[in-house]
Amino acid sequence: MSHMDFSHPYFGAFFMLFFALGVFAAITFAANFIGKKLARRNDEKLKLTIYECGLPTTKQPNRISSHFYLFALLFILFDVEIIFMFPWAVNFKILGMFGFIEMALFILLLGIGFVYAWNKGALEWHNIK
């Protein structure tokens, strides 16, 4: 003898959440299925043809250096950590000496991480040839 309480204030929100998840899953499945059915599978020759008047293309291994990714990770790491300093600067007077010491420790840890990356050669650019 169980019944559902449709008068609960969050029932509509949960219903919309599960309905949206179901619609999202259905659209994703349908797009994947239709894409696989309609995709052309013989386009390898087209990719290797000369476009207008260029040199003949040849297949080459991907020679992108991993240093690009390392630089990007370090940039994001230090950039996001610098963003944490803005709320501290806005509330500097409210935080007082405790906030100053906390930010000094934060900057010290940032500096240690920077020196570590520098000593490991993460900031040196190596030629891939």
In a domain, 29, yes or no: no
Check which CATH number belongs to the domain holding 108 and give it: 1.20.58.1610
Mean per-residue pLDDT, 94-110? 91
The model's pLDDT over 44-101, given as tens digits with 9 standing for 90+, comes to 666 666 666 666 666 666 667 777 888 888 888 888 888 888 888 888 889 889 989 9
Residue 88: which domain range? 67-119
In terms of C-beta density within 10 A (0-12 exposed, 13-18 middle, 19 or more buried), how is residue 122 classed? Answer: middle
What CA–CA distance (Å, rounded) separates 52 from 44?
A: 17
In a domain, 101, yes or no: yes
pLDDT at 39 over 60: yes
* 27 compared with 88, residue with greater pLDDT: 27
Rounded alpha-carbon distances, angstroms, from residue 66 to 77, 82, 122, 124: 17, 24, 11, 12
Count how many domains the chain has: 1
In a domain, 87, yes or no: yes
In a domain, 4, yes or no: no
In a domain, 57, yes or no: no
Identify the weakest region by mean pLDDT among 45-49, 93-97, 105-109, 110-114.
45-49
